[in-house]
Amino acid sequence: MNLWRWILLLVVVAALAAFGWHWVAVDPGYVLVRLHGWRVQTTVVAAVIILLLAWAALVTAWRLLRWPFGALSRRHRRLSRKRLAEGLIALMEGRHGDAERDLNRASRLDALRGVSLLASAEASSRRGEHGRALEILAEASQAAPQAARVLRARVLRRDGKSAEALALLAPDADKGALPPGGWRELALSALAAGDTRRALSALEPLQKSGALGARSYTMLEAKVLAAAIDAAPDGAALNTLWSQLPKTQRRATAAIDAYARRAAGFGLVLPAMDELESALRREWSPELVEAYGVLAGGDLDARLRRAEGWLAQHPNDPALLLAVGRICVRSRLWGKARQFLERSLALQPGAGAWEALGDAWQGQGDAAQAQRCYRNALAMARGDIVSPAASAVPGVIDTNAIALEERDEHGVPRLRG
């Protein structure tokens, strides 16, 4: 298709050239120039050609005159780009002094001024020279005002001035004019300043922007939700906050965990248990199972029956075994508690399981075993070596993992490789 277009274009150009030549050949025109006794006469076509040649000569002469200056300018641009590249590499490698030096030199080129000064300010901030970083950002704000504002808030937050960072970003946040990095800084600064309302308001625009990956956003959301829930002054405020959260946020594991623990602290044990049980019915979560076993109060017998029922589907879950063991300890079922806790330790040792096992031995009146378990809990929390478990009753429980039989849709057992 393109070949035919080119052929058609060449035919049209040839036709126009032929027509134009015929038109000029009939009457080429006449041009007379008279100046101080000089007389120049020629045709219009020749005059046009002479003017074009004169214009080309002038342009060529001008470029030749400018060439030395252009060479210097090109060298300046080339060196500035090289320094920018070297400065960014030094910044990524942690050579912040070299990075700041190269980036400041690169900022002498107007086209690179904004990005060079921003990167230079970041290098200064990473060196701990926050005052120097703020001075550089004052210059960078002329070339990239919004980026400089976001980076200034980050520098202030790193310097422990979260309230100033929050005040810097708040006007744009109220207008919804913050870039994704600004919303993230707003959330982190608000958390550091204790303003959980501001931090919560930053989650929705940050999620819509998609600037953070799923993992990073989930971690930030969990931190903000947990802080907001922990900041609730009483049960009524907690329930109001919980009801106002979007459904997706109320289903976040960290939010449910924080709500259940906070609600139980206010004596709202039943709502806490309802949220935990509903979440565990939707999706199994060792974190929520652990919270289920930690919370005090409520109907311990009913909680124990429900937790033991979960063991049928999750017999090898150390968090569930720990939760059942803790409920047994509070129910004063010392021997039963030891069985579950020893199995939990066999599957996954943890300071919490050692502490709960110490409570079980203490309840049975064995102070020596209880002290050994408490020492192990402290040692594990410190990362030290612990002494092996020693049950007073051999063969209480098999600590090997239980294999569940799985069947397909036809009822035939699946073979495990």
The predicted pLDDT at position 409 comes to 56
Asked if residue 241 belongs to a domain, the reply is no
The predicted pLDDT at position 29 comes to 72
Asked if residue 48 belongs to a domain, the reply is yes
How deeply is 221 buried, as exposed, middle or buried, from its count of CB atoms within 10 A (0-12, 13-18, 19+)?
buried
- Judge if pTM exceeds 0.75: no
The predicted pLDDT at position 164 comes to 94
Could you identify the residue written with the tokens 């500035």? 80
DSSP assignment of 285-327, as one string?
Answer: -HHHHHHHHH---S-HHHHHHHHHHHTTT-TT-HHHHHHHHHH
Q: Low-confidence residues of the chain, pLDDT below 70?
A: 1, 21, 23-26, 66-72, 389-417
The predicted pLDDT at position 414 comes to 56
The predicted pLDDT at position 390 comes to 52
According to DSSP, the residues that pair with 97 across neighbouring strands are none
C-alpha span between 76 and 68 (Å, rounded): 13
Asked if residue 38 belongs to a domain, the reply is yes
Give the dihedral sign, CA 285/289/295/298. positive
Asked if residue 265 belongs to a domain, the reply is no
Asked if residue 44 belongs to a domain, the reply is yes
Please give the tally of structural domains in the chain: 1
The predicted pLDDT at position 3 comes to 78
Asked if residue 232 belongs to a domain, the reply is no
Coil/strand/helix, residue 338: helix
The predicted pLDDT at position 416 comes to 46
> 197: Cβ–Cβ under 8 A, 6 or more apart, which residues?
190, 228
Asked if residue 37 belongs to a domain, the reply is yes
Q: What is the pLDDT of residues 365-390, one digit of tens each?
A: 999 999 999 999 999 888 888 877 55
Give the dihedral sign, CA 25/29/33/38. positive
Range of the domain at 43: 28-60
The predicted pLDDT at position 77 comes to 83
**Which letter does DSSP use for residue 42 in this model?**
E
User: Rounded to 5 degrees, what are φ and ψ at 290?
Assistant: -65, -40
Asked if residue 50 belongs to a domain, the reply is yes
